[in-house]
Structure 1
Amino acid sequence: MKSMLGESLASVVVTHAGLSGDRTHAVLDEEGAIGSAKHPRKWGHLLGCRSRVAEDDTVVVELPERTACTVGDPDLDARLSKLLGIQVCVIASAPAHSRLERAVPEYEGGVPDAMRASKSVDGTGEKITVGKVAPGTFFDYRRVHLVTTSSLTMLRSVCPAGDFDPRRFRPNLLVDTGELPPFAEDGWKGWRLRVGEALFRVLVPTPRCVVPTLGHDELKPDPGIMRAIAREHRVPVFDLGRPACFGLYLDVLEPGGIRLGDTITREDES
């Protein structure tokens, strides 16, 4: 479920749609906004919920009070509406005219320069920008997101008071890059990466939003996280200027299984 807590897996099947079970559902309000903690004043309580795929392939949502509801149960929509203070429902596909709202942080790099000029103030009093999810998905851009341990280690060194737990960044893949320098992944653009049975193509660095600064389960809010990234790593992305980036977006070239501990290797074009 988009913007709810996920789960760590020892193995997963990767399809052309991404990791099985990843963001197959989302919450939608009556005005067509898709629930995203990128607008925490409106949707932040979603991070107090946890979602998972059960053995029978049903999607189960555990609410903050530990009540568990299955997607399709009308009680789930009612409980989520009460939690968020607005009328919402759970959906399995994005309506054509749905939108995605993002809070605009004050620090430079916290939102792409090209988007900052379009900000407005919504009913919560928050400055936001409005965009769309990737067509046919609930992903912001591409279907797989990767971060590296080398870059996490560097960020911890420059901001030792920060809690750089990788869960804050909600990656699909956390890669142990050993002694590689921080942000070595910036040079991977266009590479084909084999992980287990699956093959990916590296696209672009991942522009970051406010979500890593928010509380995640037992992780406390930490507003310094994104300020550190904005200081250390603003890089060009398309026509978006130089947003604060951490991680990489990938596309799936070949589906297959991945297991914890699989090696990651570069494959040249045949």
Structure 2
Amino acid sequence: MTEVAGVIERIWRYPIKSTGGELLQRVDVDARGLLGDRLFAVRDAEGKLGSGKNTRRFRRMPGLLHLRSRYADSIDRPELLDPRGAAVLDPSAFLRSYLGRDDVAIAREGVTSHFDQLPVSVLTTATLDWVCSAVPGVPVDERRFRPNLLVRTPPGTPPFVEDEWFGNKARIGDTLCVDFVRSSERCVMTNEAQGDLPHSPLVLRAIARAHDTRLDALAIVAAPGLVQVGDSIVLS
């Protein structure tokens, strides 16, 4: 038995981890995830990666979300965009000045993965709409949750429908196949200001109260392929 869960509405890729990403119409997906996604990160002298939180692997570096990254030519060299949206000439030099640290540089992924959790994050409009209704007056869109794929779900789909996908496979487009495993555990990054989205502690608080801070569906790639805006996502 198969079920059409929705249609791909937007595709996001984040060339430099913890910066704002780029919208795509299509992208190849392999075992690692979307081609080039989080392939680069801001790394300090201790080898920790720039993030919105402090953990064993990550170092909180406030301000990264006000920057964006994209690939102009190839995935070998990402572009970093300043808060005004202009590409900077030397990303590492810019970050040292911007962050007020002389020990940071843009680094390509090596042995240690740049992903917080699993390679592909999928969020539905049903869940996103619920968040918007739970925090009236607070601007919310999917950028707060940094998904790779935003899925437009049919009218009447309940929020957190992603929970029902865990343990299932999904075909996306003609060839891509993913296995849904679990949801992301959300942290303070969901509250952070970025672009025209203001800081608000209400976002994480609402998710914690309603769904134990969990939001989205994380997946591993079972079969590589191409994903495009407009592709159906079919559960099996």
What's the TM-score once normalised by structure 2's chain length? Answer: 0.84
2:140 corresponds, among 141, 144, 164, to 164
Instruction: Give the aligned partner of residue 92 of structure 1.
Output: 108
User: Any unmatched runs of 5+ in structure 2?
Assistant: 1-15
Q: Which has the higher contact order (CA 8 A, sep 6+)?
A: 2
The secondary structure found in structure 2 opposite 1:8 is strand
Give, as a single letter, the amino acid of the residue that structure 1 aligns with 2:62: G
1:143 maps to 119
Q: For residues 246 and 42 of structure 1, what CA distance do their matches in structure 2 show?
A: 21
Q: What letter matches 1:5 in structure 2? A: G
CA contact (8 A) 1:51 1:59 kept: yes
1:187 aligns with 2:164: yes
Structure 1 residue 210, shift from structure 2 partner: 0.9
The answer (yes or no) to whether the contact 2:181–2:220 under 8 Å persists in 1 is yes
Residue matched to 2:6: none
User: How many Å separate the matches in 2 of 1:61 and 1:2?
Assistant: 11
* Structure 1 residues without counterparts, runs of 5 or longer: 97-135, 235-243
TM-score (norm 1): 0.74
CA distance in 1, matches of 2:215, 2:84: 33
1:37 Cα offset (Å):
2.1
Other-structure match for 1:262 = 231
Does residue 55 in structure 1 map to residue 73 in structure 2? yes
Per the alignment, residue 180 of structure 2 pairs with 202
Identity of paired residues, percent?
37
Q: What displacement does 1:68 show?
A: 2.3
Alpha-carbon distance in structure 2 between the residues aligned to 1:32 and 1:14? 27
Residues 83 and 195 of structure 2 are in contact (CA less than 8 Å); yes or no, is this contact kept in structure 1? no
Deviations 1:172-194 (Å, cap 9, x if unpaired)? 01111222111122121110011
What's the secondary structure of 2:23's corresponding residue? coil
Counting only pairs closer than 5 Å after superposition, residues 1-270 of structure 1 correspond to structure 2 as: 1-39=16-54, 42-57=60-75, 58-64=77-83, 66-69=85-88, 75-86=90-101, 87-94=103-110, 136-178=112-154, 179-196=156-173, 197-234=175-212, 244-267=213-236
Structure 2 counterpart SS, 1:140: coil
Write the distance in 2 (CA, Å) between the matches of 1:41 and 1:18. 23
May I ask how many residue pairs the two structures share in their alignment? 214
Q: Is the 8 A contact 2:27 2:228 kept in 1?
A: yes
1:57-100 CA-to-partner distances (Å, cap 9, x unmatched) read 43111123555246xxxx32222111111120111124x6xxxx
CA RMSD between the two structures: 1.9
Structure 2: how far apart are the matches of 1:229 and 1:69? 36
- Choose 162-171 or 151-160, whichever is displaced more: 151-160
Structure label with greater radius of gyration: 1
What CA distance in whole angstroms lies between the structure 1 residues aligned with 2:146 and 2:116?
13
Larger strand fraction of residues? 2
